[in-house]
Structure 1
Amino acid sequence: MNVIDLLQDRLNAIVDLGGPVVAILLCLSVLSLAVVLYKLWQYASAGVGRHRSLKQAMAELDAGRPDAAAGYLRKSRNHLAPVLLRALGAGGVADKARIEAEAARRLDKLERCFRILDSIAQISPLLGLFGTVLGMIDAFQALQDAGSSVDPSTLAGGIWVALMTTAAGLAVSMPTSLLLTFLESRLARERSVAEIAIETLFAPLPEGKAKDEVLRPFPQSNAR
């Protein structure tokens, strides 16, 4: 028997024990994993967290060197760099509202699928509890049908199976919630960087100001 057949047998055994509720939770766990992997790939492709070149470009703008700033923006792998570069190339005639809207559109694209993860994190423990209630109903119904000839081991086994659905629901909900929080925190940091970068682009610091004043608000990162 190969690994795939063994894994399939194990999954079938779990579903047989927990019933349809466990089967639904297994499907939700696969969906959650797929969404998280997709978001990690999307973040990596968009250069989320790669702010070094952006910070250097903003420092050059404050120093009155837009050509040098454009060079750093061209090197940046961050998804905001093309927006800022296009505004910088407009020679000061770019519409700030238009640039903010374009940056917001790119950030909103990174926020997609968050509702799916949030729904999975909320509904999984409720599904587990629902399965437990159904299992307890079946267990006590069997207890009633048995009358005076009750086998305690059978009752205990039924309760164990019922509680397994609650454990399965929590096992799906907790990591999904933690991963969603991680993704949301990365996106919140990206929004902050976008706001600072756009403000710096349209209102650079007066010449002579310390470069650290614009670098400090950015999250620390060594990546481009």
Structure 2
Amino acid sequence: MLEQVLGWARDGGPIVWLLAVASVYSLALIIVKVIDLGGVLGGAAARSAALADWRGGKLAEAQAQVTEGRYPADRVLAHGMTALAARENAEVVERELERRGNEELERMRRWLRTLEVIAMVSPLLGLLGTVLGMIQSFQELELAGGSANAAVLAGGIWQALLTTAAGLIVAIPAAIAANLLSAKVDRAAHMIEDAVSALFAAEHARSG
């Protein structure tokens, strides 16, 4: 099987090798991002308990529940509680939490754009390889003149089509991973927004 794959890579030319590199790179990115985003949606119960304590005036207890949190929403919420407990201006705190939320979002989205580019470019590279291979096949057919046969032409065509298949093999996993991971990041962003909104609502209830 390995011999056959290497033969296909050799027949497909440099574009297949380029796609092979893109495949290894995208697989590494997928693994890294799956690990990186593994726990971004957790901690909801602890945050709810912290907000309930905040609403009840137990500021120290509320802060303790999220200060050591490892989730993005925990980190943003912890900073908001610290700032509000220090009686900083609510509008200033809100702007700072928005900035910190954007930082968390940017960190979670890191490398996802690269996966999207790989998913978009790989089929185009495959198509380019196929077109170049077809051009070469028809040039050989023209040079062969009357001695050309269908077997020679078919051999050139299937070799050219290898690059299209390789491009799709690279693009499909990258596209699926990019979409699933982006959806996870979007859910994490909503959790950050909900936590910040709930904090200000709890602060209003506590103060008023």
For the superposition of Structure 1 and Structure 2, which TM-score range results when normalised by the shorter chain? 0.7 to 0.9
Match of 2:73 among 77, 80, 93: 80
- 1: CA distance between counterparts of 2:29 and 2:150? 43
Residue in 2 that maps onto 1:42: 36
Range with greater deviation from structure 2 (19-28 or 73-82)? 73-82
Percent identity for Structure 1 against Structure 2: 36
Unaligned runs of 5+ in 1: 1-5, 208-224
**Aligned partner letter, 1:162:** A
Match of 1:93 among 70, 88, 99: 88
Q: Alignment partner of 1:49: what SS?
A: coil
Residue in 1 that maps onto 2:175: 177
Structure 1 residue 51: deviation in Å?
3.0
Q: Alignment partner of 2:47: what SS?
A: helix
Residue in 2 that maps onto 1:69: 62
Query: Deviation digits for residues 99-155 of structure 1, max 9, x if unmatched?
Result: 221121122111111221111111101001101101111111111111111232121
Residue in 2 that maps onto 1:117: 115
Equivalent positions of 1:142-157 (< 5 A) are 142-157=140-155
**TM-score of the two chains, using structure 1 as the length reference:** 0.80
Residue in 1 that maps onto 2:19: 25
Q: Alignment partner of 2:72: what SS?
A: coil
**Aligned partner letter, 1:136:** M
Q: Alignment partner of 1:76: what SS?
A: coil
- 2: CA distance between counterparts of 1:149 and 1:55? 79
- 1: CA distance between counterparts of 2:51 and 2:179? 29
Structure 1 residue 198: deviation in Å?
0.8
**TM-score of the two chains, using structure 2 as the length reference:** 0.85
Match of 2:7 among 7, 13, 30: 13
Are 1:58 and 2:58 counterparts?
no
Q: Alignment partner of 1:148: what SS?
A: helix
Q: Alignment partner of 1:145: what SS?
A: helix
Match of 2:101 among 100, 103, 120: 103
Structure 1 residue 75: deviation in Å?
5.6
Number of aligned residue pairs: give it: 199
Judge conservation of contact 2:66–2:78 (CA < 8 Å) in 1: yes
Q: Alignment partner of 1:137: what SS?
A: helix
Q: Higher helix fraction: Structure 1 or Structure 2?
A: 2
Unaligned runs of 5+ in 2: none
- 2: CA distance between counterparts of 1:67 and 1:155? 78
- 1: CA distance between counterparts of 2:62 and 2:126? 54
- 2: CA distance between counterparts of 1:82 and 1:21? 45
**Aligned partner letter, 2:158:** W
Residue in 1 that maps onto 2:137: 139
- 1: CA distance between counterparts of 2:52 and 2:115? 38
Residue in 2 that maps onto 1:187: 185
Q: Alignment partner of 2:37: what SS?
A: helix
- 2: CA distance between counterparts of 1:119 and 1:191? 22
Range with greater deviation from structure 2 (191-200 or 83-92)? 83-92
Query: Deviation digits for residues 27-85 of structure 1, max 9, x if unmatched?
Result: 111111111111122223xx311133223323443455434432331463313323322
